[in-house]
Structure 1
Amino acid sequence: MAAKDGDGWALCARGHQHWGIHGATGLLAVHHTLDGMPYVLLQKRSWWTHHGGTWALPGGALDSHEDAISGALREVREETVLSTDLFRVQGIYVDDHGGWSFQTVIAEAAGMLDAAPANGESVDLRWVAADEVASKPLHPGFADSWPKLRPALSPLVLVLDVANIIGSRPEELWWKDRARAANRLLNEVQPLATEGLRETPDGLPELARWFPRIVVVLEGAAAVAADPEAHGTNLSVVVANGSGDDAIVQAVRERKPWERVLVVTADRALRERVTALGALVAGPRWLLNQL
């Protein structure tokens, strides 16, 4: 394993030649303006590169020891003047050609960051409104993927009805020790914030993995399980002052206009309340199957 050991041409099952022995990756940086319009950062490729003169994403060949995220962030550091600390990964889309794939890492940017070419692979970097992307001369691979990527630009917020989820576990001593049961679920959920969801819920664009921001709602005796120091930026705990259902509805109301919200609960009345606000819903079993 060595840096740049992925450089080289590969042939896919479709008979196409691609750059990247171990596949390739790119970063689709997105920032939503206050009116809800997503802007994406595009790279105009230098004339001497493969499909030079077209617009695509900062990216390139994967090294043998890299995953899609680490490779995409490395490529951004190499090809732009941007710090990768300013991005939050929200999903991965895989364009599989059979024996070779391009993995697009979708990441939320802190703003429309000042970007400039850092090497000779590109001649321009520009934030482009999503509605205008298709009108540009695009790299053929990016052009094929764009119709699937466009619906996936909105980040996902996962809101968990902890009382209902734990109540669906027959083995839980929910009625005897709610704090312990809630703390167990918190510990199980925490990896999803960094490792992502393996199963795409109904109603969302099909990605290989979603990396949601997770909001855990606790109420009553379970509230002592809340430990703010134990959670990262992708996972937060809300302690309901009164009704847990009301706290969940408020969390849905507080989402940003461009965010998708998925509420995990089997409570019929709560499902009706949050779907009326535009949220998606999934049952506890969908979540528990991924823990």
Structure 2
Amino acid sequence: MTAKDGDGWALCALGHQHWGLYGAAGLLTVHHTLDGMPYVLMQKRAWWSHHGGTWGLPGGARDSHEDAITGALREAQEEATLDADLVRVRGLYVDDHGGWSFQTVIAEAEGLLDAAPANGESADMRWVAADEVVSKELHPGFADSWPRIRPALSPVVVVLDMANIIGARAEHGWWKDRAGAANRLLNELTPLCGQGLGQMPEGVPALTRWFPRMVAVLEGAAASAADPGPMTGDLAVVVAGGSGDDAIVEAVRGMRPWETALVVTADRGLRERVTALGALVAGPRWLLKQL
């Protein structure tokens, strides 16, 4: 397991040659401007490279010891001087050719980060409005994947009706210790944020894996599970001062215009309130079966 041990040509089941003995990965960095337009960081490939002169993503062959996210972030740093600490991974799309795959890692950036060609593989690096991507001469593989990736550029925020979800786990005896039940669920959600969600409900664009931000809303006796306070990373805890339903509605109202809210609850009244605001909904079982 050494650096660059993935360099080399591979043959897929379709009979095509691809660069990367263990597959390849690329980083699609996206930033939404205040008007809601997503901009993506694109690379113009050097003339001498495979499909030279076309536009695609910074990326390349994965090493044998790398997963797609690690490989894509490394390649983006090597080719575009992009600081991995300034992006947050939100999704993964796998283009499987049969025995070989290119994995697109979608990452969110808070601004139009500085990026420039860092080695001879890149002729140019440029932020491009999503609506203008198809006007460029695209790398064939990226051109084929783009129509499926484009709808997934808006990040998903999952808002959790914790009381309702806990109530769906009758086997855990939540009614005896609501705070303890909430704490157990929070401890299960933390690794899920890192692993990502492999199944999303209808209405969410299809990706191989989503890594959404999660907001867990606690109320009443379960609120003490929030001690010592909100969690870090992609799981935040909100303690409702009054009604948990009202706090969930406010969380949906507080979404940025380009974010997709997904509320997890089986409460009919709450579902009606959040769908009226444009949110998607899923029942507790959808979440619990992924824990």
TM range (shorter): over 0.9
Task: Give the match for residue 147 of structure 1.
Answer: 147
Task: Give the match for residue 179 of structure 2.
Answer: 179
Please state how far the C-alpha of 1:217 moved relative to its aligned partner.
0.2
Name stretches of at least 5 consecutive residues in structure 1 with no aligned partner. Answer: none
SS of structure 2 residue aligned to 1:194: helix
> Hey, what's the Cα distance between the residues in 2 that align with 1:221 and 1:207?
37
Q: Are 2:226 and 2:237, in contact at CA under 8 Å, matched by a contact in 1?
A: yes
Please state how far the C-alpha of 1:172 moved relative to its aligned partner.
2.7
Please state how far the C-alpha of 1:228 moved relative to its aligned partner.
4.9
Q: Does residue 5 of structure 2 align to residue 5 of structure 1?
A: yes
SS of structure 2 residue aligned to 1:171: helix
**Structure 1 vs Structure 2 CA RMSD:** 1.0
SS of structure 1 residue aligned to 2:73: helix
Please state how far the C-alpha of 1:241 moved relative to its aligned partner.
0.5
Please state how far the C-alpha of 1:173 moved relative to its aligned partner.
2.3
Give the alignment of 1:263-278 within 5 angstroms: 263-278=263-278
For 2:98, give the aligned amino acid: G
Q: Are 2:230 and 2:237, in contact at CA under 8 Å, matched by a contact in 1?
A: no
Task: Give the match for residue 251 of structure 2.
Answer: 251
Task: Give the match for residue 281 of structure 1.
Answer: 281
Q: Does residue 232 of structure 2 align to residue 226 of structure 1?
A: no
Bigger drift between 263-272 and 172-181 goes to 172-181
Q: Percent identity?
A: 77
For 2:164, give the aligned amino acid: N
Task: Give the match for residue 63 of structure 1.
Answer: 63
Q: Which structure 1 residue ranges, 4+ long, deviate > 6 Å from structure 2?
A: none
> Hey, what's the Cα distance between the residues in 2 that align with 1:51 and 1:124?
14
> Hey, what's the Cα distance between the residues in 1 that align with 2:279 and 2:104?
26
Cα separation, partners in 2 of 1:122 and 1:165, compared to 1, 3 Å? same
Q: Does residue 132 of structure 2 align to residue 132 of structure 1?
A: yes
Task: Give the match for residue 210 of structure 2.
Answer: 210
Q: Are 1:228 and 1:237, in contact at CA under 8 Å, matched by a contact in 2?
A: no
Give the alignment of 1:47-86 within 5 angstroms: 47-86=47-86
For 2:96, give the aligned amino acid: D
SS of structure 2 residue aligned to 1:266: coil
Please state how far the C-alpha of 1:175 moved relative to its aligned partner.
2.1
Counting matched residue pairs gives 291
Q: Are 1:228 and 1:236, in contact at CA under 8 Å, matched by a contact in 2?
A: no
> Hey, what's the Cα distance between the residues in 1 that align with 2:228 and 2:125?
39
Q: Are 1:86 and 1:109, in contact at CA under 8 Å, matched by a contact in 2?
A: yes
Task: Give the match for residue 189 of structure 1.
Answer: 189
Cα separation, partners in 2 of 1:230 and 1:260, compared to 1, 3 Å? closer
> Hey, what's the Cα distance between the residues in 2 that align with 1:130 and 1:77?
22
Bigger drift between 228-237 and 55-64 goes to 228-237
Please state how far the C-alpha of 1:232 moved relative to its aligned partner.
2.0
Please state how far the C-alpha of 1:205 moved relative to its aligned partner.
1.1
Please state how far the C-alpha of 1:174 moved relative to its aligned partner.
2.4
> Hey, what's the Cα distance between the residues in 2 that align with 1:286 and 1:87?
28
SS of structure 2 residue aligned to 1:193: helix
SS of structure 2 residue aligned to 1:203: coil
Task: Give the match for residue 24 of structure 2.
Answer: 24
> Hey, what's the Cα distance between the residues in 2 that align with 1:21 and 1:98?
13
Deviations 1:78-106 (A, max 9, x none): 11122110000000000000000000000
> Hey, what's the Cα distance between the residues in 2 that align with 1:42 and 1:55?
7
Cα separation, partners in 2 of 1:95 and 1:174, compared to 1, 3 Å? same
Task: Give the match for residue 97 of structure 2.
Answer: 97
> Hey, what's the Cα distance between the residues in 1 that align with 2:241 and 2:200?
32
Please state how far the C-alpha of 1:269 moved relative to its aligned partner.
0.6
Please state how far the C-alpha of 1:230 moved relative to its aligned partner.
7.2
Name stretches of at least 5 consecutive residues in structure 2 with no aligned partner. Answer: none
Task: Give the match for residue 160 of structure 2.
Answer: 160
Q: Are 2:161 and 2:216, in contact at CA under 8 Å, matched by a contact in 1?
A: yes
> Hey, what's the Cα distance between the residues in 2 that align with 1:168 and 1:288?
9
Deviations 1:66-86 (A, max 9, x none): 000000000011111221100
SS of structure 2 residue aligned to 1:175: helix
Please state how far the C-alpha of 1:21 moved relative to its aligned partner.
0.5
> Hey, what's the Cα distance between the residues in 2 that align with 1:229 and 1:26?
36
